[in-house]
Amino acid sequence: MSLTPEAISQQLDAWREQWPALGVLALLPEAEKAALPVLQSACRERSVTLAGAVFPALIVDDRFVSTGVWLIGFERMPNHFLIPDLGTAAVDKLAQAIKAGRPEGQPTLFLVFDSMQPNVASILHRLHQAIGNCVGYAGVNAGSETFQPMPCLFDATQLVGQGALGLFLPEVSRVAVKHAYPVSKTLMRSTSAQGNRIDRIDNRPAFEVYRDVIAAEYGIALTHENFYDYAVHFPFGLVTAVDVLVRIPVAFNADGSLFCVGEVPPNSMLRLLKAAEAGDEACVTGLAQSLGLPQAGGEPMPLLTFYCAGRRMHLGEAAEREIAHLKALTAAPLVYGALSLGEIDQLEDLSIPRFHNAALVCLSQA
């Protein structure tokens, strides 16, 4: 919807008449961030609870748009928290907020991190160790597609960076996360790595190994000059006991080290991935199956979807066709959401959270 004061007021007033305890989750595109005070002021004037985040762009059915705002209304705002500047005490701050706000049952904790937080994967791992299986996990990273620092998490009174937003969604929420990237034959080891920086692979400078594997597997002559043209199409795959997590290289240093979206632990095993081709239906087919949609005899539900910005960069115009196919397969009357800069899911039945790149995150009501 439009971010004009009139449009925002009209929508909030209509919801407030129906839901006196109204709460709103807002997805705001980066190009509209200067208009956030309009939304915050309208919510404060009506005592409407607001939480939200700034993303590179919005999803409106089969289109990516950079104007307007998605407002998701709740009859009563779910328990939630906003933590600015997680810092070195990130796990303790998150654990305290979860313990204080977690409702009864087994809710899904939907987390939104600032994409400038460099260690989301290890935060999630240590958080699970701290609180156990008391919640399920899903989530995304917000922020600027340029990966430049930008406060991107907000409520009705503040806009913060380097933090986390958490919402406890009802138990009836269905969540599915997929990337479906094909895996190459080559197996490598990150013999020296720290956070999201890979220094050496198989005891050689990481860039050299990356270059040589791309040449051997796909016949591409990678150079420092064309690195940004190819890196999004050929990410690393972090090999786990269950599957392979995507790690997209986004920068390099003169010493041959590579920086990825997401951490790569020292001595972890890596494979080179080739991003999905336009028209490949494996990802959206898997999402529809995981969501159990469409349901026979059930009323189709809107599908909240977050789509990796790196995946869109790779697929170009075909990214919108992939979303259109997802809508058709799930029979969703509306696909809505935003571009994300990292995605979160959990190992099924174990509630162990994981951090992805290049994935789609879909949420639907059962």
pLDDT digits (tens, 9 = 90+) for 143-198: 999 889 999 999 999 999 999 999 998 766 788 888 888 777 789 999 999 999 99
CA–CA dist 57, 264 (Å, integer): 27
Distance CA 304, CA 289 (A): 16
Cβ-proximal residues to 97 (8 Å cutoff; 6+ apart), any chain: 81, 83, 166
307-333 pLDDT per residue, tens: 999 999 999 999 999 999 999 999 999
Give the whole-angstrom CA distance, residue 185 versus residue 273.
9
Q: What is the pLDDT tens value at each position of the chain, 366 positions in all? A: 788 999 999 999 999 999 999 999 999 999 999 999 999 999 999 999 999 999 999 999 989 999 999 999 999 999 999 999 999 899 999 999 999 999 988 899 999 999 999 899 999 999 999 998 899 999 999 999 988 999 999 999 999 999 999 999 876 678 888 888 877 778 999 999 999 999 999 999 999 999 999 999 889 999 999 999 999 999 999 998 778 899 999 999 999 999 999 999 999 999 998 888 888 888 999 999 888 877 655 677 899 999 999 999 999 999 999 999 999 999 999 999 999 999 999 987 678 999 999 999 999 875
Here the tokens at position 13 are 């007033």
pTM: 0.91
Q: What is the pLDDT of residues 36-51, one digit of tens each?
A: 999 999 999 999 999 9
Q: Which residues of 46-58 are buried (b: 16+ CB within 10 A; e: fewer)?
A: bebbbbbbbbbbb
Q: Tell how strand 352-356 and strand 343-347 pair up.
A: antiparallel
Query: What are the pLDDT digits (tens) for 161-171?
Result: 999 999 998 76
